[in-house]
Chain A
Amino acid sequence: MATKLLNENIAQQVRDFFDQLQEPVQVLFFGKKEGCDYCADTLQLIEEVVSLSDKLELSVNDLDLDADLARRYNVDKAPALVLAGRDGDQIFDFGVRYAGIPAGHEFSSLIHDLVLVSGRDSGLSQPTRGFLKGLTSPVRLQVFVTPT
């Protein structure tokens, strides 16, 4: 077993935070064989995170070998993570995605997003919810971030 990316102290903090998890969350990982500097680390990181709660489940996919699945989730980068809802065999895609390793500040975002998706409640203000309910065409938000 390779060295863990999360030390026991961090793992315990995340475990405690995961007490807030409600509904099951399905995480879909997409990697690729060639030319992906961060695929291995991202996979190890998400494996360690998912192992901290039995409400989290991970499926490991390949951008090229599982091209149909990647297309279904609009995933065109590796490494990528999709945080989806799960109810038995059913997966609900909420459109929540990560491209690249969620390290540093993004690690905190990931942990919070897992709880958010699990709660199935955006926490947004009523006016915002009202406007978003009226949408009738796709909106694509791409948020560029850096680890620190």
Chain B
Amino acid sequence: MLLAHQMALESPWIEAESIEAMEFPDLSERFNVSGVPQTTINDGAATVVGAVPEEYLLAEIRRVMGKPK
């Protein structure tokens, strides 16, 4: 099961899409996907490479959400 999907289930504000990188090369290129899994937050506001612990992904979301718009 996917951490991002757990977060989506927890919050109505979160949408999490698992994307098969090779089937969508344009998108993978756009977000410079080099290793998997790679998690992109809000269309590139932050990128997390690798399977990271819950706290780490949360910290990145927190950082993105704290940014002034």
A residues at B contact (CB < 8 Å): 37-38, 74, 77, 83, 94-102, 106, 109, 112-113, 115-117, 120-125, 127-129, 131-133, 135-147
Chain B's nearest CB lies how many Å from the CB of A119? Answer: 9
Q: Is the CB of A139 within 8 A of B2?
A: no
CB-based A-B contact count at 8 angstroms: 166
Determine which of B14, B42, B55 lies in contact with A135 in the assembled complex, contact meaning CB atoms within 8 Å. Answer: B14
> Which of B17, B18, B55, B61 is in CB contact (< 8 Å) with A106?
B18
> How many residues of B sit at the interface, in one of the four size bands?
35 or more
What is the CB-to-nearest-CB distance from B56 to chain A, in angstroms, rounded to a whole number? 11
Contact B5 A99 (CB under 8 A): no
16 more A-B contacts (CB under 8 A) besides A140-B42, A143-B40? Answer: A38-B20, A74-B15, A95-B16, A96-B5, A98-B18, A100-B22, A122-B6, A122-B10, A128-B58, A132-B58, A138-B42, A139-B11, A142-B40, A144-B36, A145-B20, A146-B22
Nearest chain-A residue to B69 (Cβ)?
A: A137
- A38 nearest CB across to chain B (Å): 6
CB distance from A127 to the nearest CB of B (A): 8
